[in-house]
Amino acid sequence: MNVSSPSRLAALGMFAAVAMVCFAGLDRQPLYETDEGFAANRSDSFYRHHTWRLSYDDVGETGPQYRKPPLLYWCVAGLYGVIGRNLWAVRLPTALASFAAVWLTWRLARRFFDDRCALVGAALLVTVPFAVLHIRTAMLEMPLVALLLAGIWCFAFAPRAAGRVFGAGLAGAAAIMIKGAAGAYVTVIPILFGLWHRRFTRRACLEALLVPIVALLPPLLYFLMIPEPFRTEMARHLFVEEAAERVRVFDHVGRHVEAAFNAVATPLRWHLVAGLLGLVIAFAGAMRRRERPAWPVLTLLAAIPPMWVFASMVHPFPRYLLPLYPFILVLAAHFVWCATATPAAAWWLLPYAAGAIAIGWGDPWLWGPAATALIVFAATRRQPLRTSPAFVPAARLLLLLGLVAPSTLSAVAWTFHPPPEHLPRPELIPLARRIQDLVPADGRVVVEERMKCHTLLFYGRRAIDSISQWLLTDAVPGETRYGIFQTFFLANIPNLDASIVDESGPWKLVRLHVHDQAAPWAGVLFCLPHRVEHTAATLTLLEVSATPFQQGYTIHAAPPAARARPLGGTAIHLVHSNGVADTIAPAPDGWTLRTGDALVATIPAGTSALGLELIPASKREPLVGLRIDAQPPGESAWRELKLVDQPFDPTYELDGQRLRKTALRALRVRFAPVEGGRLRILRTAPEPLNVKAVCLFEG
């Protein structure tokens, strides 16, 4: 399609407006405490740790992070070296990718729709508040959207075979290097659409086989760059653990379908109503003209992977559905163009008005799209208005205003924005910068429990320990540390002097000095107020005698350390609530316990069992709701050893008279020694529990 001069001017004006949204004042808002903090600080970790092969969180962790590959972080780190370590460098890669996504959407859509319609549909992306948030912050989703569109363009429409194979392959490789296994759909969708669009020709099929090879080569080269001791861990996290922790493919998919629809409808608002009607119109028009419905097919292909993943997620993230937005918004513009083209087509405005009222019921802004649709419909009934040359452009402009303005101003459209704990913390910046003068470059700052505090790491450039991690495991006599807290709860802790050095807003810079006496923490366990009950349950499970005080517990007696070993050589029977044992361990994938189910194991000969450790399949498993029983040799009755009926901290293990955090989340239970016989782990809670392994503590 040739672009006329007015269309060229319209495109320049539209893309100038898009550029303003993408780039104007990128450093105006301080760092967000969300994934943007990861992007900023993992990128800086290449300089802190003097390596570009692995990135580090430095927020409660000392080793490298394996959750995300480094491509986006490399881009940000490269900009640090060019324009300085600032928010422009952090956000510019995402903003550039977002601008490219709008441009690619237009280039794709104009192959199937009117040029002005495609231009408006592409530009609608910058009218959705939730999309603008991701355009102007350093998160992973908008780069993936741009790469998906680039892959589709290359494989379906690039004029040369090399461009089709290498273009689509490199787009897929970049997606994998940004998102790991989750980025594979950026390779799959272009191949599926390209094969369908090119009618599965022999050349298309051959090129489709080459694209995944090209897509996998850069990740493979990066994998070989990683130091050998870290390779297995990286592969496990990226391709196994991430999916196991976040997505349960066949769990509760049905009940999440409605949630997936709401996750699209909430930020898009009335764009979605127009988009769904545009999908019907586009499909019907293609059938009427006996053409292939390319854009509807592309929309459905692009929707299936993110909708499927979202519906299967344990804790769904609405941003995972951003790849749908360009396709839905182009269809929304197509609806506006078609509904104003002829008097007969204007009847589509009535279901649009009804849908706007239905999807926005309870929202005062719903009357904007509904009223403009009815006004345009009524105007098409009047012959003088309908025959005016300015009628169609004016009607389209009115419909677009009635669509965009309410969708942007509606409070509901902003509900997926970060909650208060993830918003920028500008008042923390002065204290973070002072930290650089007080803490050595290789030192660590102490912060409140469970507080990520990326602002502190970005502006202070010092690694972070949580207060409990330091108090429980790292504090040594005579040590002086500095911490930043919102609540000053450190007074009167035994063997610790805490004094406020500076304040900024609700934040306090605190000097922490450990007394010089020997072993100051022996026999003392510290915990935060909201963890007191959980810690008490932990002490009970570990058979520890302790007395609580204001900020923790004084430990009087702790059982001696015991060695844990897997029950790999012992048969473990999964006994169902009806008494049938149909699975015999060791099971490679673990076991699923439902209410009344039990794992039954024989205590190996010569073993004195003092406790057990149950390792769940993921950190999201509900460990509460278990009973540990013993069956002495020659007896049929079971004797209760321990009941786990209240929440506890599953990350502690006993080390002398201290509790230490462990890297593996597990349920640890101690009990009086048991010689011979059998042990039973009975599920008493209604939720299923997926168990990965069971170990015995031996005396």
Cα four-point dihedral sign 424, 428, 430, 435? negative
- Do you find a cis peptide bond into 384, omega within 30 degrees of 0? no
Give the pLDDT score at 556.
Answer: 76
Question: Does residue 546 have a pLDDT over 80?
Answer: yes
Question: Does residue 249 have a pLDDT over 60?
Answer: no
Give the pLDDT score at 91.
Answer: 97
Topology of domain 563-698 in CATH is: Jelly Rolls (2.60.120)
Query: Tokens in use for 537?
Result: 């349950």
Average pLDDT rounded to a whole number, residues 440-465: 87
% residues pLDDT > 90 (the chain): 54
Query: Tokens in use for 271?
Result: 């764009």
DSSP three-state, residue 562: coil
Please answer whether residues 266 and 416 qualify as being in contact, where contact means their C-beta atoms are separated by less than 8 angstroms: yes
The domain segmentation of the chain, as residue ranges, is 140-246, 425-521, 563-698
Give the pLDDT score at 217.
Answer: 96
Question: Does residue 519 have a pLDDT over 60?
Answer: no
Give the pLDDT score at 569.
Answer: 64
Query: Tokens in use for 194?
Result: 């390209």
Question: Does residue 140 have a pLDDT over 70?
Answer: yes
Max mean pLDDT among 63-72, 191-200, 546-555, 562-571 falls in: 191-200
Please answer whether residues 327 and 298 qualify as being in contact, where contact means their C-beta atoms are separated by less than 8 angstroms: yes
Buried residues in 581-595 as b, exposed as e (16+ CB within 10 A):
eeeebeeeebbebee
Query: Tokens in use for 385?
Result: 């208005």
Neighbours of 213 (CB within 10 A): 11
Beta bridge partners of 581: 575
Look over the chain and give the mean of its residue pLDDT values, rounded to a whole number.
87
CA distances from 623 to 240, 370, 495, 563, 691 (A): 21, 50, 35, 22, 10
% residues pLDDT > 70 (the chain): 90
Cα 691 to chain center, whole Å?
Answer: 24
Residue 603 is classified by DSSP as P
DSSP three-state, residue 28: coil
CA distances from 191 to 22, 188, 567 (A): 30, 5, 46
Please answer whether residues 524 and 495 qualify as being in contact, where contact means their C-beta atoms are separated by less than 8 angstroms: yes
Query: Tokens in use for 353?
Result: 């008005």
Query: Tokens in use for 280?
Result: 């019907």
First to last CA, the chain: 80
For 422-433, the pLDDT digits (tens) are 899 999 999 999
Provide the pairing of β-strand 444-447 with 463-466.
parallel
Average pLDDT rounded to a whole number, residues 312-341: 90
Residue 417 is classified by DSSP as S
What's the pLDDT band for 520 if we cut at 50, 70, 90? very low
Tell me how long the chain is: 699
Question: Does residue 370 have a pLDDT over 70?
Answer: yes
Give the pLDDT score at 1.
Answer: 41
Query: Tokens in use for 450?
Result: 């469970």
Cβ-Cβ contacts under 8 Å for 291 (sequence gap 6 or more):
none
For 48-72, the pLDDT digits (tens) are 999 999 999 888 777 888 888 999 9
590: left (phi over 0), alpha (psi -120 to 50) or beta: left
Question: Does residue 258 have a pLDDT over 50?
Answer: yes
What's the pLDDT band for 347 if we cut at 50, 70, 90? very high
Radius of gyration of the chain (CA): 30
Residue 313 is classified by DSSP as B
How many angstroms separate the CA atoms of 310 and 315, rounded? 9
Residue 632 is classified by DSSP as -
DSSP three-state, residue 87: helix
Give the pLDDT score at 433.
Answer: 92
How many angstroms separate the CA atoms of 396 and 225, rounded? 54
Question: Does residue 584 have a pLDDT over 90?
Answer: no
- Amino acid identity for residue 406 in this structure: P
For 97-113, the pLDDT digits (tens) are 999 999 999 999 999 99
How many angstroms separate the CA atoms of 482 and 490, rounded? 12
**DSSP string spanning 530-559?**
GGHHHHHHHHHHTT-EEEEETTEEEEEE-P
Give the pLDDT score at 547.
Answer: 81
Please answer whether residues 154 and 190 qualify as being in contact, where contact means their C-beta atoms are separated by less than 8 angstroms: yes
How many angstroms separate the CA atoms of 99 and 107, rounded? 13
Q: Which of 210-224, 317-331, 557-571, 644-658 has the lowest mean pLDDT?
A: 557-571
